[in-house]
């Protein structure tokens, strides 16, 4: 039997749009003589729907769309992730996260997700009741053990006292293949973890595995697709594209298929493609067509612009240079050269006169200040003038404003509220500074797009004479290591210092992270590419006094 593995890019809550994608894929699978077509977790609603699951109208809309979908499906078995409403008389949560097998316009089998993740960006126990029995479906003489996303991750997560895969094989006889339908978000280096996990399961139980994953950007989450067939020896025999919709056909006779992309672990290309997809989907799904951003001549804005042009096309990206009295000629030359290399729109709006006007207006009051005549206040004024001008362009022309701050700066508060933090999407807010440099070199691997001087010069905000980031921050190579240990590995002062870092430096960095939580709470949404991004998956109080 031929089996179609379909990774779609749904829009959360757009049931008619998602249904059309599902129907189109089913018809294509029929044309290619498939007997079974498999879709990702919660494919009809899109994942994650969050608190839309608390709205009766949303649940009713889902169920009506499901009935309509069943009536229109061609003659093929369909395994698809759906919301399942429980009996109103049932105790516990009102919903299951389920996989439905649909045949001849009817739902003939339901498999309910058993492990409900509640960590980082996941909060499924808030809405769903766990299933309690293993799921086995039959199709064309084959028996498939069905799991939903987290059910296959027991051994890797390590916080569950129950393993649905082991329970399935203990309870069921003659399982020919394991199926996992997922909405598993991308993060750096996760693909190698998946491969290792899947290989262990396939070899232990001597069965092939069909893995079908959602693709696309949903708010800050980026889903990479990369659906696959792994055989009983733990070898990948078929694989879908990453970061793009795809239909992959596998043959159950010898468990084989096509490799739409090479089998390789995550690298810079995966992070690049994830960010490009995230921009494209966030902009498009929110109803925008174009973006605007400030081009300072620095590496962060250059990387953001290059990613935006790749995602949206040069004609839909507008860069604006906003030189102040402290902007160097080199920076303005680099900003113009970048725009020329990218082919995007480019304008220059000097802010020196506006800055002088603000200073004149404030001078009588500032004269009474005991601080120096010029301090951080004046630096922030320049950032806020730029932020206002960029927001004006966003409002007037309907562009989405992209903010350009990186994760390292966001972590320690090296950014200005209502200034460079203005925007609707923070593209690289989960990209540490060292990774910013790596991605910039990756973009330049075939030809120079980001000017070389932008990559090689010392980073600077250019908000005062001869300013350099390292006037206020440690070298980014050191800063990023400490931040990763603290933010992603959750280590405190002593544990990080024990790794060989100077105690007072670590103490100062952790202090900055703690004190600047309030800024990050007001930042635009960012795209998640690491294991712990600022935003929904990191819930730290603004007001707290824990110092480790």
- Give yes or no for a contact between 460 and 469, defined as CB atoms under 8 angstroms apart: yes
Q: Which residues have a Cβ under 8 Å from the Cβ of 306 and sit 6 or more positions away?
A: 338, 342, 440, 443, 449, 450
DSSP 3-state of 518: helix
Residue with tokens 């309910």: 112
Catalytic residue among 149, 177, 202, 344: 149
Catalytic residue among 26, 34, 41, 124: 41
28: annotated active-site residue: no
N- to C-terminal Cα distance for the chain?
A: 58
CA atoms of 47 and 150, how far apart (whole Å):
14
- Give yes or no for a contact between 499 and 486, defined as CB atoms under 8 angstroms apart: no
Whether the bond between 48 and the residue before it is cis, its omega within 30 degrees of 0, is yes
Please provide the DSSP assignment of 396-436 as one string.
HH-PEEEE---HHHHHHT-S-TTTTT-SSEETTTTS-HHHH
Residues, the chain: 548
Catalytic residue among 21, 82, 84, 113: 113
462: annotated active-site residue: no
Q: Which two tokens stand for residue 540?
A: 């730290």
- Give yes or no for a contact between 5 and 250, defined as CB atoms under 8 angstroms apart: yes
CA atoms of 499 and 300, how far apart (whole Å):
29
Helices (H), ranges, 286-404: 299-312, 329-342, 352-366, 376-397
Ranges of beta strands (E only) in 191-266 are 209-213, 215-218, 221-224, 228-230, 236-239, 246-251, 256-257
CA atoms of 270 and 226, how far apart (whole Å):
11
In order of 121, 482, 538, the CA distances from 492 in angstroms are 22, 10, 16
507: annotated active-site residue: no
CA atoms of 220 and 538, how far apart (whole Å):
12
Task: Work out the widest C-alpha separation in the chain, in whole angstroms.
Answer: 86
- Give yes or no for a contact between 63 and 84, defined as CB atoms under 8 angstroms apart: no
Q: Which two tokens stand for residue 112?
A: 């309910």
Active centre residues (catalytic): 41, 113, 149
């Amino acid at each position: 039997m031929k089996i179609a593995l379909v990774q779609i890019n749904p829009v959360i809550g757009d049931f008619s749009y998602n249904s059309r994608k599902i129907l189109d894929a089913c018809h294509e699978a029929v044309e290619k003589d498939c007997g079974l077509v498999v879709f990702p977790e919660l494919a009809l609603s899109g994942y994650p729907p969050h608190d839309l699951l608390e709205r009766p109208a949303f649940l009713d809309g889902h169920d009506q769309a499901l009935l309509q979908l069943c009536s229109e499906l061609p003659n093929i078995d369909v395994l698809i992730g759906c919301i399942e409403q429980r009996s109103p008389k049932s105790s516990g949560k009102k919903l299951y996260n389920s996989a439905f097998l649909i045949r001849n316009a009817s739902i003939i089998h339901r498999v309910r997700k058993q492990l409900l993740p509640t960590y980082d960006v996941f909060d499924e126990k808030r809405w769903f009741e766990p299933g309690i029995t293993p799921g086995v479906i039959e199709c064309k003489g084959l028996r498939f053990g069905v799991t939903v996303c987290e059910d296959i991750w027991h051994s890797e997560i390590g916080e569950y006292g129950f393993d649905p895969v082991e329970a399935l094989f203990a309870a069921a006889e003659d399982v020919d293949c394991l199926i996992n339908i997922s909405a598993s978000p991308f993060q750096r280096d996760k693909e190698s973890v998946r491969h290792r996990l899947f290989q262990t399961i396939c070899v232990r139980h001597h069965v092939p595995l069909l893995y079908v994953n959602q693709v696309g950007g949903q708010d800050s989450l980026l889903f990479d697709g990369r659906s696959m067939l792994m055989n009983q020896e733990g070898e990948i025999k078929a694989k879908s594209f990453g970061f793009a919709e795809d239909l992959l056909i596998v043959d159950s006779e010898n468990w084989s298929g096509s490799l739409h992309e090479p089998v390789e672990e995550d690298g810079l290309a995966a992070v690049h493609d994830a960010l490009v997809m995230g921009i494209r989907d966030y902009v498009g799904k929110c109803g925008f067509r174009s973006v605007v951003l400030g081009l300072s001549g620095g590496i962060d804005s250059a990387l953001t612009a290059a990613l935006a042009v790749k995602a949206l096309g040069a004609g839909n990206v507008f860069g604006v240079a906003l030189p102040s009295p402290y902007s160097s000629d080199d920076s303005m030359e680099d900003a113009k050269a970048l725009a020329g290399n990218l082919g995007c729109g480019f304008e220059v709006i000097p802010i020196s006169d506006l800055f002088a006007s603000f200073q004149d207006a404030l001078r009588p009051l500032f004269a009474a200040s005991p601080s120096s005549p010029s301090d951080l206040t004046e630096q922030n004024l320049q950032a806020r003038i730029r932020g206002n001008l960029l927001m004006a362009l966003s409002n007037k022309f309907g562009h989405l404003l992209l903010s350009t701050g990186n994760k390292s700066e966001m972590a320690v508060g090296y950014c200005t509220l209502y200034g460079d933090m203005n925007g609707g999407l923070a593209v690289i807010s989960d990209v540490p500074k060292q990774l910013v440099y790596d991605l910039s070199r990756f973009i330049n691997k075939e030809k120079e797009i980001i000017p070389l001087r932008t990559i090689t010069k010392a980073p600077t905000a250019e908000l005062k004479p001869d300013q350099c980031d390292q006037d206020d921050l440690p070298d980014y190579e050191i800063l990023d290591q400490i931040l990763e240990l603290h933010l992603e590995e959750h280590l405190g002062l002593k544990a990080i210092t024990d790794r060989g870092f100077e105690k007072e430096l670590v103490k100062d960095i952790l202090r900055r992270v703690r004190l600047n939580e309030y800024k990050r709470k007001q930042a635009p949404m960012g795209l998640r590419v690491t294991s712990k991004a600022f935003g929904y998956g990191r819930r730290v109080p603004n007001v707290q006094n824990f110092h480790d």
